[in-house]
Structure 1
Amino acid sequence: MITKIDIPNFGLYKNYIWDKSIGREEIFGKLNIIYGRNYSGKTTLSRIFKCIEDQSLHKNYDTGSFNITLSGEAKLSSQDFNTDFIFRVYNSDFVRENLSWLHNEDGSIKPFTIIGAKNVELERKLEEIKQKLGSEDERQGLLFSIYEKEGELNEVASNHLKKHGDLETKLRSRANDRIKVTPYLFVPTKSKKTYSISDIKSEIESIKDNLSEFLLVEAESESLKSILGDKPLINIELLKEFRPNFSQHYESVEKIVSKSIKPSVAIRDLIEDNLLQEWVRQGIEKHKGIRETCAFCGANLSPAIWEKLDEHFSKESEDLRAEIIRTIGLLESAKTKLGEFVHLKKEEFYSSLHEEYDRVNQQWNSAMEGYRYSLDQLILGLNSRKDDIFKTIQLDNIEDHSESIFNVIKEFNKLIESNNDKSTSLELDQETARTSLRKYDIAQYLIDIEYENLIAEIKQEEEKVKRIDTFITPLKTEIEILLAEKDSLESQAKNESRGAELVNEHLSHFFGHNTLRLVAFDEEEGVRFKIQREGIDANNLSEGECSLISFCYFIAKIQDELEDEIKQNKLIIYIDDPMSSLDSNHIFFMFSLIEAVIARPEKYAQLFISTHNLDFLKYLRSLTRPRGKKNDIKHLLIERKSNDCTILRLAPTYLKNYVTEFNYLFEQIYTCSGAAENSISHDYQYNFGNNMRKFLEAYLFYKYPSHNITNDQRIRKYFNNDTVTVTLINRITNEYSHLKDNFDRSLVPLDIAEIRKISELVLNRIKSDDPDQFDALLESIGIQRTALANQGN
């Protein structure tokens, strides 16, 4: 709890130090009762507590400073409001801020929305929310901003939707009117019965990044279409893989043409003339054993000629010739057989392999031609030797195409295997071909409709939508939060009936106001309340009625905290001057409310109550003291000093015990008399004239209650028309109390000796005239008569 407070500068408080004014050993009690006259500084002190409650300096004291010491030496200050204690302050600021509806200039009252946990602050928040929200009709606030943005969004979204829809229409038309009805693009199957826009979209996703990759030239397109026309073919038998033995042929021919033979008796002319020799040899074949004369010249063919020719054309040469002819026949046969080896036809292969067939077949023809050419070279060498049988020949190097022949045969077999395999994969190949043709068709269509540009335009519109939506989303969130907060606040307003009931209960139970009640009304904006008197809207509430309602409102507002066992142990309550034009009954009931709701159940950590009303102060003496802490109650006095500064000090004994202003004034005069041990301070010196006037007016009125005499006459009568005494007293009570016509007097303080003299004159007169009352007055301010007598001696 709070133990001490220092106030360097806050309103009326200047350089106030607790230890100096009250004492180092003194601290605030759990219950603190503070008395002070109006404008002495009570509300200013409560505003320091309100700064802690609001966690900010009061608007009128934004440069103010204070330091509060808590138990355990913890600190609070004008720069540090952090604490676990819960501060709740009732003062004029609370009434003004929370119950501004109490008065209007025309005397009527405003309906209000808040009771209990709500107040005018809640209405202010509701109004702030409404201002922020605004409306479309008023063309302001968040609702209008989002209305404008949503209009813009609708327009942009409409453009986006139209462009997107146009593209959807194009794709749907292509899927339904072209692809779905074109057999080489799509054929229904058990697993895929139709082709839709979702299918074309899926395939667009797979090709859109590189359309050119899926485009086909006419030949490629026709080739794929031909695959779709293929029927299952009979498997082709593999070719026998062999490698021609050209090297063997070469060796055989080389041996023949390089064999050396000679005639038995050579005929020189024939040896030297190869053509003549061949001519003669051919003539022998046409004449020997056939004619006796030469068919060319008619000469007789004598046995001697035949003998001569036989000696030239020997058996060895003829055998060689026969070998050459036989070998040429073998080579010619090899050429023929090679040409007949590959009997494959293009039509035996699937169309997808026709191109490969053409390639391999071309290789075969090339290899076969090369091989045949090499055989022809061998044949040419044999013929040359045959034509000049006695002349040996050296064969040139001839290319061997045997390996090429072998490799091409293997290529044909691979082709055959692929072809045979296609008989089992034909359906898949045709579907692959159809897919390629379909993607080609789609790719070409996307190019034709400028798909990329359409997508870019749609993307651009989409980005516009996102940008606007990015602006709208937090706006919607803020509006939703505000609407939720508005609903919550209005919902709280609807639940305020209990708070209103509490106020009515307090008014009825503690103040007897059964006719003055709060009545709830359902309105479009929520539940609102009016004050009614006997069922009629109450106008021109008296100041006292406003005080009653305000304080009942405060109690209802903190009701939840008072009932919360955890919070009530942290609750520091400051009630500043709840009295305002209340009669004695109302004063007692105000005390009863504090006693019953706060003090008796001790639902607080620390309680401060300040007042200017001495009757109320008298009742406060009866408040239930904190349990278990006999002396944990402090009586304090707030005084405004002559230098227009305020101090807080311990209340004098009489104020704690008797609590009347009359006792207070007597104590002031007694302190100024010579009977007091302490010297007179400037504060007493400054206020002496006013204090003396008020004391004598009160004392002499009860002494002489007749209304037919003036106060000056009462003074003269009481002091037996003692001219000196009456003159001194009148001078004090008139010139130093009423400064309007004696302003110069205010600039010169009374002499201390003069103050003491006048005080003693008054006190001695009372003592001699009414010693019983004088003793009672002394006792009320804590002075014993014997002590006074001793001092007088």
Structure 2
Amino acid sequence: MITKIDVTHFGLFKNYTWDTALANETFKKINIIYGRNYSGKTTMSRMFKCVEDTIMHKDYDTCQFRLTLTGGQSITNSNLADFAQHHKIRVYNTDFVKENLGWLHREDGTIKPFTILGAANIELEKQIEEIIEKLGSIEESKGLIFELTDEEEELAKLRKKNNDKGNDLEDKLRKRAADHIKVTDTLFIATTAKKTYTIADIKSEITAIGDKTNDHLLDTDTVEMLLKLLKEASMEDINPLPVNNPRFAEYSQECQKILEQKITPSKPITELINDSILQEWVRQGIDKHRDKRTTCGFCGAGLKDDLWGKLDQHFSKESEDLRKKIKNKIDELEVAKKELSSFLSLKRDQFYGTLQVDFDGALKQWDVASGVYMKNIEILITELKAREKDIFKTRELPELTDASSSLVNAIKAFNDALAAHNRKTSSLFKDQENARKKLRLAHIAQFVIDIDYKNELDAIETEDNRLNLMGGVVKSKREEIGRLQSDKRQLEAQANDESKGAELVNQHLMHYFGHNELKLVAEGEQPNIKFSIHRDAAPANNLSEGECSLISFCYFMAKIEDELKDETESDKLIIYIDDPISSLDSNHIFFMFSLIENVIAKPKKYCQLFISTHNMEFLKYVKKLTGVKNNSKTVGHFMIERRNQSSSFLIPAPLYMKNYITEFNYLFDQIYQCSLGDREFNNNNIQYGFGNNMRKFLEAYTFYRYPTQNMSFDQRLLKYFENDGVTYTLVSRIINEYSHMEDQFDRGMQPIDMDEIIKVSDAVITRIRTTDPDQFDALLDSVNRTAD
């Protein structure tokens, strides 16, 4: 299916970008497009007709547009024939009628009968003569064939000159991509997703750089930093350090209690009390002599029997318990020292180079804090040993700084560096790809500057435009010659198809439109059968515009019905019906809807359907087609509007147009937009239909209020504004001078004054708001607006 359309320029469409105008919308299976007359509906249908004909329309041969298909394929004005690989398209519009049913009108406007109805639906005899004259020959020095010879020679010279310039620049880009970027690992490395670097890649990145070449250039420091990042290899993750609160405060309090604990011997020995060294010497001697010797190991004197009793009274159980407590605490502090010494096993080279500075900072914090902590533990041990040697004397700890919080902060700094390291491990590949891309774009930016790429490209583009212009002329002429020659060969073979086509058109005319009096009549014998249109068994020389529309549309639908019978191809068929309603009454509009419903919509064998219209009544019926109602997933609603009388835009249809089916709501919204003035009045196209819009709206609105049969529209208008003569006068002038031009032709040649439009529309809106507040609120709600 066709999903989007972008237009550089094509008739009324200029610089139209789908994603800007329609955001996340796409064309659906069924697409309903509303647009007023001259808004650009037929222009849009001609883009699709170019795709059907695989050649640009003669009035738009240098225009540019792009159709995006499901799957992302693109069809542009330069590869129209590629569309046939995916789908086939059939377009009904005014060009179709002129091309296939040109027999309906004479140049002076009178109607002439059918002479032949064929696959191309033109007069065969006249076409053959026109083809021969149009083709001409080289020998006669006239016609398309002769013109093509000269134009092809000129095109060949222009193409060679343009190719030389383009090839030179292409070679520069190709060599830079293949001989430098592709083989420089700091600029590009092959991956499974991107295995090589080509000229297409350098072109794409030049486009991405655009005019901002200087923004992509890098200073020396930045280049060195990026190169350093590219050299880094992936490293293993590092487990975070445990954050346990150090126990120094607890150690300090416990040691202080030990040092302050008082011990009194039951019978102290004075010499030992006064000499702590002697006392320690004696305490150690007890362990070496009791139950082991009878003489002194130092002097050899005998040991008296009462000696042990005296010493036991001096060295009591209480003092020994304290001594044991001191020893245990010293052992505990020694363990704490050992654990602190072995706590940190991290090495600088475990970290990425860019994170080693963070490691150095954390290590400096750790060294300072652990040094203080270790020194304080040593002081505690020293004080405990001193008390152990002089067990009976209490001691006081010196004032110490607790480095616990500094230790914790150092550990947290290490963990922050570890977390950054681990994150870098997971993101290193992406970081290096980004670094490589920055270096590559900087390289390309400098390259673009060095070769003066922009000016070179501008020169080539100038030559391209000349080549495209000339190429379009030659291509169009060549294809026209081929088409004319093919038509000439096939005309005689189409007689049987003509007969069947005529029969199918007659069936549609009789079945759907009740036109028993109009039919195609065969004349002559095969292979020279011709058909003429008859009314009541006589040639019909004066067909009305409505009858011409019916016959033309029946012919198109007959072709479509025939193509839909091919079940192998029908699901590829895209149908575009552009504004088929012209001078038809309500019954015929309904029957035309019925024809679309029964031939196309109901069987559901087509691929995609587009219907555009300016007729609100027909729009009402279209919303009832099979597959349309309450089916937002497969139905798209759009509007074509013309802005500033210069450009057409395809936009989402307003909600009221999707949800309502009366023209009354639409006319109210047009007038309400005008009444907003500078706040919203940015669509100058409204002014050209303002008089008609205002007249049609007030005719309906005043009739609802005063449904008296013998009251004219002017009388109803006067009654509605009976207390506001100024507004009545302004409104009357607008709806008479700008909707009926019989007596005001010179006035119709001038646009309505904008201030006058705003003033009149505001007066009407204010009147409705005042007299019918409920009706006014309901109208606002119906067009999805709120009162200001």
TM-score, reference length from structure 2: 0.49
Structure showing greater radius of gyration is 1
Q: TM-score by structure 1 length? A: 0.49
